[in-house]
Amino acid sequence: MQCPRIRRGVAVPALRVIRVPISWGGRFMRQSTVGAVRYAACVCAMACVFQVSAGEVNLQGLASGSSHQRFIVSYKDRVGSTRATGLSAPWGEIARAVPRRQGRALGLSAMRRLSAGPMLLVADRRLDRVDSESLMRRLAADPTVKRVEVDVLMRPLLAPNDPGLPQQWAMGTTTASLNVRPAWDRTTGKGIVVAVIDTGITAHPDLAANVLPGYDFITDPTVAGDGNGRDNNAADQGDWSAANACGAGASASNSSWHGTHVAGIVAAVGNNAAGVVGTAFNAKLLPLRVLGKCGGYMSDIADAIVWASGGKVTGVPANPNPATVINLSLGGYGSCSTIIGNAITGAVTRGTAVVVAAGNSNMDVATSMPANCANVIAVAATTSAGAKASFSNFGKGVDIAAPGQAIISTLNSGTTVPANPAYAVYSGTSMAAPHVAGVVALMQSVALNPLTPATVEALLKSSARPLPVACAPGCGAGLVNADGAVAAVINATLLTSNAVRTGLSAAIGDSLYYQVKVPAGTRSLKVTLSGGSGNADLSLRANALPTDAAFGCRSMLVGNTEACTLTAPAAGTYYVRLKGTLAFSAVNLVATY
């Protein structure tokens, strides 16, 4: 009896994560030496990371499927990673770690170098968990290798849909909603790019005006289903599969058009007298295709994260539209992969917030990658009653909750290949995450100074509303509050009379912006800069951000003792700019009116 299989199977018309109970004993426990080895491998595949003399072997990915063919090898230094394969031993010697099949030795090839440096190695046949572990241990024994892990196949996090609620309750006015309607009076997300890393996107009139040129990151032709490798066509080709195509016992499934549904939740066009409206309906969508038939590999997903955030990926043209926020409505079992974790950290370092679906297993989110990675905003799903959705993951790793059950959005009517634009109701944490990604777009669009991902997360949490129904196992800070989050961003740069802002800093050439709401009848407005080190110039302008060429008042003295005064200013909003002629720090700013 082989190891029990943990399946993230298929639900019609979309995919769902499924937990299958694990059972030990019986004939399996009575196996001889080989059986004992397999049993130990199965146990360790669930929770073990082994340290060997040469490199680390991360076995958690073995539990993601009954067989594996792709492995990611990280190196200790750049010397190893610059060789043809990165390994000191020849292929033939490494392949001997796996028994021959019908007299033929295992074949190995180096497919490509990942953006972060590791090598993607591919076997010429699928290996069961025991043989996969043997190969991984042999690879890790090479003195140049730092770490070996399975290139895990991830899948969309979509639970079965409920067609009984064909309206956007999440955009409503109940205590279970996003509370987004008041936020739309302030902003609709204009000027912000949201990357949807998913199955790609289908042509849809309710999306077209907001869609930017994307990219197809799928390298495996079977997964891609479009007859070619990576290219600049992010169109969803369909992810339908026949029975057993995604593993023994897997049911046949129609195409999910998952990415199209997610994209509509983020930024379906608003005020067009048709269809639905997105959370940030004037934001731009950057579709990146990483999921196809049976899912998608984390090596492709990692590269997409890097590229979406403005990083460089070998062989792929530079991204002309780096995203301010990335949505990942996908996942797999296990601890956070180093490859995915590094990609996310890089994106966050470049200033891109990463929003991730918590997973649909009704388990602790600690078991769901990439929701369990550092630096992400992990989102649980809630119902129209404001309770945790029955399928949603939970726990301390969840950051916030959002509507995720019975969500209507854009879709396609095709069962296999694309057909006509349509709308449908889906449920899942896949639907919760894009609501939050849309709220992040709203927040960034009103931010005078771009918000760091850490600030975004902090403001989302501090402005969240309590769930109408208590979430005992943990749903983060509460229910996302779009209007509260947008207001928090605005208030963060609002100068009230005589309230001193302290500790301000910026690099040379960079600017900080603030705003002052001047009431009618004000006799004078004075903005003063003082203290600190370096040199900052001060500018003031009514109704628009000051520039070097356009301002109502500007002070450019040496040092940081600056002031701008306007007599009898008209009522309205005045914007303040501090520009670093030199880098400055610990500066104080105050407005008096």
Catalogue the active-site residues: 198, 258, 430
By the 8 A CB rule, do 482 and 404 touch? no
CA-to-CA distance for 407 and 258, rounded, in angstroms? 12
**SS3 (DSSP) at 20:** coil
R_g over Cα of the chain = 26
- Where b means 16+ CB within 10 Å and e means fewer, 414-448 reads beeebeebebbbbbbbbbbbbbbbbbbbbbbbbbb
Pairing relationship of beta strands 377-382 and 400-403 according to DSSP bridges: parallel
CA-to-CA distance for 357 and 19, rounded, in angstroms? 17
Backbone angles phi, psi at 461, to 5 degrees: -70, -45
The full 3-state SS of 380-410, as one line of letters, equals EEECCCCCECCCCCECCCCCEEEECCCEEEE
Identity at 232, one-letter amino acid code = N
Cis omega before residue 370 (within 30°)? yes
By the 8 A CB rule, do 276 and 168 touch? yes
**SS3 (DSSP) at 439:** helix
Q: What's the DSSP call for residue 464?
A: P
CA-to-CA distance for 14 and 112, rounded, in angstroms? 31
> What would the two tokens of residue 242 be?
């026949």
CA 145 → CA 87, 95, 239, distances in Å?
Answer: 7, 16, 35
Exposed/middle/buried for residue 96 (C-beta within 10 Å: 0-12, 13-18, 19+): middle
- Where b means 16+ CB within 10 Å and e means fewer, 491-522 reads eebbbeeeeebeebbbeeeebbbbbbebeeeb
CA-to-CA distance for 125 and 549, rounded, in angstroms? 65
CA 205 → CA 52, 269, 271, 285, 287, distances in Å?
Answer: 55, 8, 13, 14, 15
**SS3 (DSSP) at 342:** helix
**SS3 (DSSP) at 241:** strand
- Only one residue has tokens 């010397």, namely 79
CA-to-CA distance for 306 and 323, rounded, in angstroms? 10
> What would the two tokens of residue 18 be?
């499924």
Ranges assigned E (strand) in 314-434: 325-328, 330-333, 353-357, 368-369, 377-382, 400-403, 407-412, 421-426
CA 49 → CA 137, 147, 374, distances in Å?
Answer: 11, 10, 18
